[in-house]
Amino acid sequence: MEIAVIGSGMAGLATARILKDAGHNIKIFEALPGRGMDSHSTEFEGGLIDAPLRVMNPHLWKNTLSLAAYLGIKAFPVRTYMACSWLFEDKTETWLTTSRSRIGNLPIINNRKGIQQYGWRLVKGMLQLKTAIHQFFKSDQQDMTLADFINKNDIEEVFWHGAVMPVLYTICTCNPKTIGEWPAKPLLTFLRQLTDGDALLRIQGGTSALVDGLINGIDIYSGSAITSVRTEGEKVEILNSADEKFVFDRVIVATPTTKVEEFLNAEQFADDIALLRQFKFEQGDLVIHTDPTVMPPKRKDWAVLSYMMDRKFTRQQFTVWLNSIEPSLVGKSPVFQTWRPVTEIDPKKVISTVTLTRAVVDMQTVALNKELQERHKMADRKVFYCGSWSCDGLPILESAVTSAMQIAEIFGAPLPFKGLKPKVEVAPQLGY
């Protein structure tokens, strides 16, 4: 079949690759001048900056890493360390730093103050969380939100709000209230895997290498915003911003649902639009910069992930130190990514600011997803929808690939990458 894919984020690219390899003719349409998936990547002093930086747990990003392996793209292991600091006082105080054990790659506290002041509370919280998660997965009442889980289990506050929630901010990139409304199950699955000691992986060449593999041999029309999608008999007609007309057998819409009203025919797709309008999204700024004030005051406390928060846990920000996890930036000036900064960053040290849109996951979207998948099974269906928003799992990149796999199932397309192990090489030298 002749198939159009609208949008070149991870969901659109993965769908295009799967259907192309199943023998269909694919054209990708992207409103941005480049490729949506890596449109924010940039160079810095000859090194690569992925925006956002992607580090993957081999269990939680299973399909994403399998797809990369299928494309011949290798990965390398990285170790993540964290530092937590109190903010909004006379001076910034780093109260916790971690490293990982040589045997088992397990997280350990490695600063004296963290052990003396908070060691027992952190250990107590870890044991409480493990017990609560174990009981959760043994029970038959797993349809609860994360807030319900927190309220049901009295987990040590410093551990939960000072160490666990910041990690969830990093993965979900949304505000604390939104995370509380998430279904607990995918988040607790993530936390359970996080403590198992597996090394995290990064793709060699970053996001751009993955995009290159996904679009290999596929036509992509960049800077080609779609303005109209309408069915004409057994075909689907689409128009772009250049008033070019294309006719396809099927169309895959892989954009945020907030965009569909810009091009879907309002009369023909009224029911779809009404459903898609109910999905929620949040936006936030990712600031890429060279201002070290987002890091602990003492250089010896710098870590891959730096979390800063007030003592009441009402304001927080997290920063990724890129040089410690991207080989091409080793030896370069320190460069950082800070998500939704609450401290002022020197404007002269800002490289770029990227506005990211994230789907909100809650019990309502879970129900909406089920309804959408049922609609996809209709015999006369010609337009389909996919994206990270169309799955209730975690993390976002993996949800996008999972949604592409759901589309593949509808089309009867094989998944030759499913179950492939990532091709992992010895980690390049990383600098701290």
| Residue 271: Cβ-neighbour burial (10 angstroms; 0-12, 13-18, 19+) | exposed
With respect to residue 429, please indicate whether it lies within any of the assigned structural domains: no
Chain centre to alpha carbon of residue 312: 27
Tally Cβ neighbours within 10 Å of residue 177: 8
The answer to whether residues 330 and 379 belong to one domain is: no
SS3 at position 362: coil
Residue 190: which H helix or E strand, with range?
helix 184-194
What's phi and psi for 73, nearest 5 deg?
-95, 130
The answer to whether residues 383 and 245 belong to one domain is: yes
With respect to residue 190, please indicate whether it lies within any of the assigned structural domains: yes
Q: What is the pLDDT of residue 17?
A: 98
Q: What is the DSSP letter of 199?
A: P
With respect to residue 28, please indicate whether it lies within any of the assigned structural domains: yes
With respect to residue 432, please indicate whether it lies within any of the assigned structural domains: no
| Sheet hosting strand 245-248, strand order edge to edge | 226-232, 235-240, 245-248
Q: 200-203 and 74-78: which strand pairing?
A: antiparallel
Q: What is the pLDDT of residue 169?
A: 76
Separation of alpha carbons 402 and 416, rounded Å: 14
Considering only CA atoms, give the Rg of the chain.
22
Q: How many residues make up the chain in this entry?
A: 432
Separation of alpha carbons 182 and 403, rounded Å: 18
Q: What is the DSSP letter of 384?
A: E
Q: What is the pLDDT of residue 431?
A: 45
The answer to whether residues 118 and 214 belong to one domain is: no
The answer to whether residues 152 and 295 belong to one domain is: yes
Q: What is the pLDDT of residue 314?
A: 85
The answer to whether residues 102 and 163 belong to one domain is: yes
Range of the domain at 83: 74-203+282-359
With respect to residue 61, please indicate whether it lies within any of the assigned structural domains: no
What's phi and psi for 103, nearest 5 deg?
-105, 120
The answer to whether residues 244 and 347 belong to one domain is: no
Token duo for residue 176: 């604390």
Q: What are the CA-CA distances from residue 202 to residues 32, 153, 199, 210 (Å)?
A: 26, 34, 10, 11
SS3 at position 170: helix
The answer to whether residues 196 and 305 belong to one domain is: yes
Structural domain count, the chain: 2
The answer to whether residues 175 and 321 belong to one domain is: yes
Separation of alpha carbons 278 and 416, rounded Å: 34
pLDDT tens series, the chain, 432 aa: 999 999 999 999 999 999 999 999 999 999 988 888 887 888 899 998 988 888 888 888 899 999 999 999 999 988 778 898 988 677 788 888 887 655 555 566 676 766 777 778 888 988 899 899 999 999 988 889 899 999 999 899 888 888 888 878 777 766 777 788 888 887 888 787 665 555 688 999 888 899 999 999 999 999 999 999 999 999 999 999 999 999 999 999 999 999 999 999 999 999 999 999 999 888 889 999 999 999 999 999 999 989 999 888 888 889 999 999 898 999 899 999 998 898 999 999 999 999 888 888 788 888 899 999 999 999 899 999 999 888 766 667 888 999 999 999 999 999 999 999 998 886 555 544
The answer to whether residues 102 and 140 belong to one domain is: yes
Give the closest residue to 294 by CA, choosing from 94, 80, 111: 94
* Domain containing residue 351: CATH number: 3.90.660
